[in-house]
Amino acid sequence: MIAPAAIALAGAVDEGFFRDRSSDTLACEARPDEVFCFGWARENIDRFLTPTLEHLEMVVASVAAGFVVAFALALLAHRRGWLRPPLLAATGVLYTIPSLALFFLLLPLTGLGRTTAIVVLAAYTLQIIYRNTIIGLANVPAATKDAARGMGYTERQVLWRVELPLALPEIVAGLRVATVSTVALATLAVFVGAGGLGTQIYGGGNLTFPTSVLIAAAIVILMALVLEAALLLAQRRLTPWRRARAS
Amino acid sequence: MRGSEAGYRLVAVPSSEPATHTQPAARAGRSASPVSYVGATKRYGPGPPAVDHLDLEVPAGEICVLVGPSGCGKTTAMRMVNRTVELSEGDVLIGDESVRERDPARLRREIGYVIQQVGLFPHRTVAQNIAAVPELLGWEKDRIRARTAELLELIGLDPELGSRYPAQLSGGQQQRVGVARALAADPLVMLMDEPFGAIDPINRERLQNEFLRLQSELRKTVLFVTHDIDEAIKMGDRIAVMREGGRLEQYATPAELLMAPATPFVEDFVGADRALKRLALMRVADVDLWQPATARAGEACAEVRARLAMPDVDVPFPLLLDAAGRPLGWLSERDLAAATVPEQPDSPLGPLLETDDVLRDALADMLQAGAQYAAVADPQGRLAGVLSFEVISDFLGSARAHAPLPRPAEAAPAAPAPPRGGRP
Amino acid sequence: MSAALPAASFGGAIDFIFGKQESNVTGGRKVGGLEQALELTLKQLEVTLLALALALVVALPLGLWLGHRGRGELLAVGIGNAGRAIPELALIALVAALIGVGMVTVTPALAVLGVPPILTNAFVGVRQVDRAVVDAARGIGMSELEIVRKVELPLAVPTVMGGVRSAAIAIVATATIAPLAGVVTLGDYIINASIYGEDGRLAGAILVALLALALEGALALVQRLLTSDGLRLQTP
């Protein structure tokens, strides 16, 4: 994931886009040919702190909420197969509708602010988490379930002690995709007044200038990378048996 | 040489020799329970039932093999015992208790369950897999740990494998863990559904022998499903032959099945080579072995040659024995050309059989080695006689071969021969 | 931003779509109406389809070929992952500021968002084709190109179309904020609510949602048509 970004950055540096000038915002904005003002960046980096924290908070809240709902739906559909197509379609609709539109469709109900943003972002994650959970559970070998039941595990014990642990890699994979998407999408939360890094890209009805946009984008990508790595690590920790290979 | 293991099936009493590596506690489990099918029936929709009014009594501590072609209902019948298949009509009793009166999950924790694909939990270590039912039953950690170690030893696995995951084990090892897992909580009954079906033939035989060895110590009531009649004959104390439509055709000991098939279906299923199959039921000891001319190191060759020329000696070569009377090898012409019998024989011993071996395995060993004659040793290792193809065919043709064989419970207890090294 | 505007209602939104209204900000100039709605819808559709086509041209052959050869898994899957992390708002902002506004610059930018899912899914779709079938095709004398065209691609249709649909969703969503870079799509209703009013904003949201669903439905139909009967029987 770093490679393409690094290549772009290197190319830009090469073309002389980055030149260090004064830290004056206006002066920086007044120079259209200058992509990145290091001076301004150095001086104003702290104005990104709050938006970053807001952004992170939104991401964590939405993914958590989305996971809880999608996971519950998947458990429901796991037992009752007839629920699967309608639930897949329903979560699919929420995934298809552009988040910006969904923000404002919801606005009359929930108003401006954090709640609307979190609900919409969570809705966007439902399909991937739901689908991955269903697939993960479906991939548990029938023989393993048969053995578990035959040994005396109750249906509930089979689900929680056998099926879900074995479905964990798929589930966490879905969670990773959902998280990365949400980190990027949360930039749009600025349109409903929910804060986040989007405020540094589009503030007060106008796009900000490139340096600000680039810093915000860089933080978004970095956040996505870090969260993805953290989830990957958690996945590895929780599934030690996958790393064990036949001797 | 697997002779000793095959002989275990006929042994009704535990070995009189102290086991070298198994703790006595492993054998002192709860007594096994008998299992009875009373008119047990299973229907799936209209049409013929999957199991049709099955009446069967499995005595405690015996292996009952359910055998038949695909779709005959043998697996369904087995699963009625732990209610992974629910009865439509009739009942199954474990001891005196109907399975219908128990909560299924609790019932299953008292029954060992081994299936063909094993179904080990990939996300748990071998030790954790084995400990599964004890955990469900709420045993204390120490007791579980001790039991797991005991079982690993019982099934012949290195204790350090306990911390490995199933994916790191071979197919044969996995299947053994499956058996250990089923035995963990010392169940009253064991259900085994084609447990060795997915294993290659060589390891399958090994696993079968090991299970029979285990069974001779543990004496569980076992319901064993297979489609392979040879496996049924080898493993079963009693065999239930079933046919399509879930009907029981014959329920008898292996010997009865081979000698007196009840219906044309059974006769067909058992196969036209019934006589040959009977070789699996007879032991070398049952046969009149030839007595060869023997020699010991240092004797005068002239004397040995004289013994060889005796009329009742059918084996053309003398057998060299050691001081204790154990066979060392065959003496050739060149050996006898010297003045005294040498210490080392010219020809190697070849296959060394034991009186406890079943004739089928003995014959197989001889064929494999290309040996016309094979020395037979008694349990102490001393020469008992010589087996040849002629001896076997004489025996098969004789009246003795067709006499009713003793039932398993009446077989004379025989102490298993101690393990010997240096087999050819 | 729009706190001072009167609350929106669905009724008001419907009115906005169909009939021209007075605007309360730009003093008298009329906004809304079917004609304008249609114009913006078509604009959004135009830029979306062009960007999708561009993304297909770039990513599909590459993904199929890499998948066929079995090379470049890290690249194909990596780009797929990386693509998800791109914040579209930043992309549009940078394009507008650094490269220029208008269809010529926005379309490729949107295509960039569409490339990752198409590339990854084309790669994975081809990799998942049963190797035995490919061997058989090679054995009867098909050229490598023929194998891709006649064997791997048809069998990979579900996965590939899944990627195309994901790309379409990402592109149409970003096309919504394209007005920020000079391509005036339905998103204008939403972004410039000060001009169009709350009713207009809601109308925009409704129309964007409907457009996206319609596009997804159309692509689902295309997938259905492209999936051979044999394959459809296999997949549940």
DSSP category for residue B283 = B
Residue type for position A211: T
- Looking at residue C156, which CATH number applies to its domain? 1.10.3720.10
B226, B232 Cβ separation under 8 angstroms: yes
DSSP category for residue B8 = G
Shortest Cα–Cα distance, A14 to chain C (Å)? 16
CA angle B369/B370/B371 to nearest 5° reads 90
- How do residues B292-322 score in pLDDT, each as one tens digit? 888 888 888 888 888 888 888 888 888 888 8
CA distances from B60 to B36, B217, B314 (A): 10, 14, 47
CB contact under 8 A, C86 and A1: no
Tell which wins on pLDDT, C49 or C16.
C49
Shortest Cα–Cα distance, A141 to chain B (Å)? 8
Binning pLDDT at 50, 70 and 90, where does residue B183 land? very high
- How do residues C82-93 score in pLDDT, each as one tens digit? 899 999 999 999
CA angle B69/B74/B76 to nearest 5° reads 130
Which residues of chain C are within 8 Å of residue A197 when distances are taken between CB atoms? Answer: 87
Q: Which chain C residues in 46-65 lie under 8 Å from chain A, judged by CB atoms?
A: none
Which residue of C25, C79, C81, C89 is the best one to mutate when testing the A interface, meaning the one whose CB has the most A CBs within 10 A?
Answer: C89
Half-sphere exposure of B363 (CA within 13 A, CB side): 19
CB contact under 8 A, B164 and A150: no
* Share above pLDDT 90 across residues of chain A, in percent, rounded to a whole number: 60
Which residue of A82, A95, A96, A116 is the best one to mutate when testing the C interface, meaning the one whose CB has the most C CBs within 10 A?
Answer: A96
Which residues of chain A are within 8 Å of residue B168 when distances are taken between CB atoms? Answer: 244-247
B199, B207 Cβ separation under 8 angstroms: yes
3-state secondary structure of B39: strand
* Length of chain A as a residue count: 247
Shortest Cα–Cα distance, A152 to chain C (Å)? 32
**Does A4 touch chain B if contact means CB atoms closer than 8 Å?**
no
Give the residue extent of every domain in chain B. 25-278, 284-404
Task: Judge: domain A35-239, CATH 1.10.3720.10.
Answer: yes
Binning pLDDT at 50, 70 and 90, where does residue A157 land? very high
Mean pLDDT of the region B116-145? 93
Rounded CA separation B347/C132 (Å): 53
Count of beta carbons in the 10 Å neighbourhood of residue B324: 9
**From C209, which residue of chain A is nearest by alpha-carbon distance?**
A97
Question: Across chain C, what does the average pLDDT equal?
Answer: 85
Q: Where are the beta strands (DSSP E) in chain C?
A: 20-22, 30-32
CA angle C24/C25/C29 to nearest 5° reads 75
A77-101 burial: b if 16+ Cβ within 10 Å, else e: bbeeeeebeebbeebbbbbbbbbbb
Q: Which pLDDT value is given to residue A21?
A: 43
Of B120, B119, B49, B51, the closest CA to residue B79 belongs to B51
> DSSP letters of A66-103?
HHHHHHHHHHHHHH-GGGHHHHHHHHHHHHHS-HHHHH
DSSP category for residue C65 = H
For residue A245, give the nearest of B119, B120, B167 by CB distance. Answer: B167
- How do residues B348-387 score in pLDDT, each as one tens digit? 888 888 887 778 888 888 888 888 889 999 888 899 999 9
Half-sphere exposure of A99 (CA within 13 A, CB side): 28
Mean pLDDT of the region B11-17? 32
CB contact under 8 A, A147 and B120: yes
Residues whose CB falls within 8 Å of the CB of residue B393, separated by 6 or more in sequence, listed in order: none
Binning pLDDT at 50, 70 and 90, where does residue C196 land? confident
Mean pLDDT of the region C4-22? 62
Q: Which pLDDT value is given to residue A231?
A: 95
Which residues of chain A are within 8 Å of residue C59 when distances are taken between CB atoms? Answer: none
Mean pLDDT of the region A140-169? 94
Which residues of chain A are within 8 Å of residue B120 when distances are taken between CB atoms? Answer: 144, 147
Q: Do chains B and C touch (3 or more CB pairs under 8 A)?
A: no
- How do residues B26-46 score in pLDDT, each as one tens digit? 343 467 889 999 999 999 988
CB contact under 8 A, C82 and A4: yes
Of A226-240, B173-187, B224-238, C129-143, where does mean pLDDT reach its minimum? Answer: C129-143
A99, C212 Cβ separation under 8 angstroms: no
- How do residues A81-103 score in pLDDT, each as one tens digit? 899 999 999 999 999 999 999 99
Question: Across chain B, what does the average pLDDT equal?
Answer: 82
CATH number belonging to the domain at B25-278, selected among 3.40.50.920, 3.40.50.300, 3.30.420.130, 3.55.40.20: 3.40.50.300
**Does A162 touch chain B if contact means CB atoms closer than 8 Å?**
yes
Whether C235 is in a domain gets the answer: no
Q: Which pLDDT value is given to residue B172?
A: 87
How many contacts, defined by CB atoms under 8 Å, are there between A and B? 78
Q: Give the domain range for residue C104.
A: 32-225
Q: Which pLDDT value is given to residue A245?
A: 60
Q: Which chain A residues in 68-127 lie under 8 Å from chain B, judged by CB atoms?
A: none
Report whether pLDDT(C16) > 80: no
Of B228, A218, A109, the closest CA to residue B239 belongs to B228
For residue B121, give the nearest of A154, A162, A239 by CB distance. Answer: A162
- How do residues C134-147 score in pLDDT, each as one tens digit? 888 888 888 888 88
Residue matched to tokens 């394009």: C95
Q: Which pLDDT value is given to residue B49?
A: 92
Q: Which pLDDT value is given to residue B190?
A: 94
For residue B82, give the nearest of A150, A239, A247 by CB distance. Answer: A150
- How do residues C138-189 score in pLDDT, each as one tens digit? 888 888 888 888 888 888 999 999 999 999 999 999 999 999 998 899 998 8
A37, A57 Cβ separation under 8 angstroms: no
Shortest Cα–Cα distance, A241 to chain C (Å)? 24
Predicted complex ipTM? 0.85
**From B185, which residue of chain A is nearest by alpha-carbon distance?**
A151
Q: Which pLDDT value is given to residue A5?
A: 64
The residues on B that touch A, with CB distances below 8 Å, are 82, 84, 105-111, 113, 115-124, 132-133, 136, 164-165, 167-170, 178, 181-182, 191
Give the residue extent of every domain in chain A. 35-239
Whether C145 is in a domain gets the answer: yes
Question: What crossing angle do the helices spanning A164-185 and A210-238 adopt, rounded to 10°?
Answer: 180
CB contact under 8 A, C213 and A96: yes
**From B112, which residue of chain A is nearest by alpha-carbon distance?**
A151
Of B63-77, C2-16, C45-59, where does mean pLDDT reach its minimum? Answer: C2-16
- How do residues C93-114 score in pLDDT, each as one tens digit? 999 888 888 899 999 999 999 9
Whether C128 is in a domain gets the answer: yes
Counting runs of H as helices and runs of E as strands, what totals does chain B give?
Answer: 18, 16
- How do residues B192-221 score in pLDDT, each as one tens digit? 999 998 888 878 888 888 888 888 888 999
For residue B119, give the nearest of A146, A152, A246 by CB distance. Answer: A146
Which residues of chain A are within 8 Å of residue C8 when distances are taken between CB atoms? Answer: 107-108
Chains that touch B (3 or more CB pairs under 8 A): A
**Does C68 touch chain A if contact means CB atoms closer than 8 Å?**
no
CB contact under 8 A, A144 and B121: yes
**Does A144 touch chain B if contact means CB atoms closer than 8 Å?**
yes
Which residue of A151, A159, A239 is the best one to mutate when testing the B interface, meaning the one whose CB has the most B CBs within 10 A?
Answer: A151
Report whether pLDDT(B422) > 50: no
For residue C209, give the nearest of A5, A35, A97 by CB distance. Answer: A97
Which residues of chain C are within 8 Å of residue A4 when distances are taken between CB atoms? Answer: 79, 82
CB contact under 8 A, C86 and A102: no
Mean pLDDT of the region A60-86? 94
Of B340, B359, B351, the closest CA to residue B281 belongs to B359
* Share above pLDDT 90 across residues of chain B, in percent, rounded to a whole number: 40
Q: Can you name the residues that pair with B190 across neighbouring β-strands? A: B112, B222
Q: Do chains C and A touch (3 or more CB pairs under 8 A)?
A: yes
Q: Where are the alpha helices (H) located in B109-262, listed in sequence order? A: 126-130, 132-137, 141-154, 171-183, 201-218, 229-235, 254-259
Whether C142 is in a domain gets the answer: yes
For residue A221, give the nearest of C85, C98, C176 by CB distance. Answer: C85
Q: Which pLDDT value is given to residue B7?
A: 31
Rounded CA separation A183/A185 (Å): 6
For residue A152, give the nearest of B106, B122, B167 by CB distance. Answer: B106
CATH number belonging to the domain at B284-404, selected among 3.10.150.10, 3.10.580.10, 3.40.50.300, 3.40.1080.10: 3.10.580.10
Residues whose CB falls within 8 Å of the CB of residue C27, separated by 6 or more in sequence, listed in order: none
Domain total of chain C: 1
For residue A3, give the nearest of C78, C86, C208 by CB distance. Answer: C78
Q: Can you name the residues that pair with B37 across neighbouring β-strands? A: B56, B92
Report whether pLDDT(B255) > 60: yes
**From B187, which residue of chain A is nearest by alpha-carbon distance?**
A151
Binning pLDDT at 50, 70 and 90, where does residue B61 land? very high
Q: Can you name the residues that pair with B242 across neighbouring β-strands? A: B248
**From A189, which residue of chain C is nearest by alpha-carbon distance?**
C89
Q: Which chain C residues in 196-215 lie under 8 Å from chain A, judged by CB atoms?
A: 201-202, 204-206, 208-209, 212-213
> pTM above 0.80?
no
Beta pairing class for B111-114 and B89-94: unpaired
